[in-house]
Amino acid sequence: MDYSTNDSKSTSKKKVVAVVGGGLVGNLNACYFAKRGFQVEVFESREDIRQAKIVKGRSINLVLSHRGRQALKHVGMEDTIISKGIPMHSRMIHALNGTQSPIPYGKKGQYILSIDRANLNKELLSAAETTETGAMTFVRAEGAKEEIQADLIVGCDGAFSAIRKQFLRQSRFNYSQTYIPHGYLEFTIPPINGEFAMKPNNLHIWPRNTFMMIALPNLDKTFTCTLFMPFEEFEKVTTGDKVIEFFQKYFPDAIPLIGAEALKRDFFRLPAQAMVSVKCSPYHFGDKCVLMGDAAHAMVPFYGQGMNAGFEDCLVFNEIMDQLNEDFSAVLPEYTRVRVPDDQAIADLAMYNYVEMREHVNSKWFLFRKNVDNFLHIIMPRTIIPLYTMVTFTRTRYHKVVKHWHWQDKVINQGLLFCAAVSVAGGSYLLVRYLPSMPNIPIEQLWSRLCTLCWGQ
């Protein structure tokens, strides 16, 4: 399909926006542009998801949080989508011995939502079509040569964007992609007697330092499990017996939940899938074309922000349209200026969060620091804000989140170091002061008395 822009300045007809890619970000964009009164045409190589018998594409569960909710709210979709999601209030950590311990995401009442990708896409498509102000047409593009006249082309065609490929021909366009050495496989935990097999209002995590498994709840009472692991580890598991041996070693409590036979079948149903991180800049070409969503900033899924960042792209673009009176020649470069540093920051945070999820949650120091951060947030809510809270429950710009995180991390660590130094100095003083008067007291008793003097215990 060939796309060209319409340079006509006539105001007698609606401006035409061609949205390339009928996925989540493309369809939400269609809602935004149709609401503004544009004539919108959505081009997608796959058939309309609402009529498809088999839905192709990625199936990793989606996590909806504040940024995505705000974007949906602007087009009247928030309540509809929330009603079809499952709240998750905490991470539920599964230790190797089978014990489970929750780590809350935020303050009481704060949660993220487990959302079904296909259902969300259907809802967005239908919402765009029924927008009264403008109009939306879904066009299935299957490689036929056809010139489309449009005032603006919006590339929302995913991590391997055909629109972005055209940008690569332009000078001063920066582009990079990075495949991480880890892949993923999916499994399903079926219901038990018609009910969830585990507590449903949690994101379940089996952290094993160099790899992990997670499970998110679905409305049909199943859980979708995703095993993230280095490809070289996947390659070592070559038979059904080795699958069971592997799970008995690292995820023993998951075997009866998934089922031994299902594990053997699903482990080899598909090869482990790759995950890519994409960065590029600028996001626009002149006043005629702009990239959004994964086409601009594909990221690994470990912060649950891929969809939310893509939805926020739509909201930010809409806000800039308001500020600059829909003047594409001003809107597009401003969108690039505002959005590139934020999207690249969350891409980096997504990489970091994989290490936190698979490894740091096992650390006593990590749990201690999390409690310290939460306590300080309670007494200084505007100064100390946990990283996850800033990313997930606010619309603080991502790059500012990173700056604030580094600053407060340095301050808290220095504070803890100071407290430790004061404790050591105080203990040393008491030891020097009282040791001469206690020459015959065993060291264990002396230490006990010293602890009582210092800390009352």
Mark whether 228 and 377 lie in a shared domain.
no
pLDDT digits (tens, 9 = 90+) for 153-169: 999 999 999 999 999 99
> Per-residue pLDDT averaged across 101-122, rounded?
91
Q: Are 28 and 10 in contact (CB under 8 A)?
A: no
User: CA dihedral in degrees (130, 135, 141, 147; nearest 10)?
Assistant: 180
Mark whether 264 and 122 lie in a shared domain.
no
**pLDDT tier at 1 (50, 70, 90 boundaries)?**
very low
Mark whether 173 and 136 lie in a shared domain.
yes
Question: pTM for the full model?
Answer: 0.86
51 assigned to some structural domain: yes
From first CA to last CA, the distance across the chain in angstroms is: 75
pLDDT digits (tens, 9 = 90+) for 212-232: 999 999 999 999 999 999 999
Mark whether 308 and 435 lie in a shared domain.
no
Question: Which percentage of the chain shows pLDDT scores above 70?
Answer: 84
Mean pLDDT of the chain: 87
Residue 131 DSSP one-character state: -
Mark whether 255 and 286 lie in a shared domain.
no
pLDDT digits (tens, 9 = 90+) for 366-384: 888 888 988 999 999 999 9
**pLDDT tier at 321 (50, 70, 90 boundaries)?**
very high
Q: Extract the tokens encoding 320.
A: 């800039």
Q: What is the pLDDT of residue 256?
A: 97
Number of C-beta neighbours around residue 386 at 10 A: 21
Mark whether 284 and 251 lie in a shared domain.
no
Say whether pLDDT at 144 is over 80: no
Beta bridge partners of 178: 277
**pLDDT tier at 443 (50, 70, 90 boundaries)?**
low
> Per-residue pLDDT averaged across 67-87, rounded?
95
Q: What is the pLDDT of residue 81?
A: 94
Rounded Cα distance, 200 and 278, in Å: 33
Mark whether 291 and 433 lie in a shared domain.
no
Domain span holding position 64? 2-88+111-178+276-356
71 assigned to some structural domain: yes
Single out the residue in 232, 252, 273 at which a domain terminates: 273
Mark whether 152 and 256 lie in a shared domain.
no
